Amino acid sequence: MTTRTGQGFPKTARIRRRGEFLSFGRKSERARTEHFVVLARPAARSSRLGVTVSRKIGAAAVRNRLKRRLREVFRRHPERSGFRSDIVVIAKEGAGALTFEDVRRQITSAVGSLSPRRRA
């Protein structure tokens, strides 16, 4: 098997463990949009992204597509390298029907409303 090269979103840039997600509960800043809740807290190292999409959003294919779109929004964000926060995005009902551009617009808006030290 060969190693992939390109513009992927590596697992090291993701929040993956349940305990890490739960730690955002009380110690994070929140921003809300119509279809997403964005939680942010200072990062120990480089910034990471966690995505939570429940079954209320739709079937597995819909949930996975939404997760890929969210990761791509963060991967493409022009100021991501200067971002010093871990981010968790929680999808709300109706998010599965959004286009990539709608997802980008809402996430950019939510991240922009966070305090300047957490913003990209």
Q: What is the pLDDT of residues 66-115, one digit of tens each?
A: 999 999 998 887 666 566 788 999 999 999 999 999 999 999 899 888 86
Give the domain range for residue 22. Answer: 11-112
Does some domain include residue 2? Answer: no
Does some domain include residue 117? Answer: no
As a whole-number percent, the residues of the chain with pLDDT over 70 amount to 85
> What length is written for the chain?
120
What is the predicted pLDDT for the residue at 38? 93
Does some domain include residue 23? Answer: yes
Q: For the chain, what is the mean pLDDT?
A: 85
Does some domain include residue 49? Answer: yes
> What is residue 68's three-state secondary structure?
helix
What is the number of structural domains in the chain? 1
- Is the four-CA dihedral 9, 65, 24, 22 of positive or negative sign? negative
CATH number of residue 55's parent domain:
3.30.230.10
Structure tokens at 81: 């390298």
Does some domain include residue 33? Answer: yes
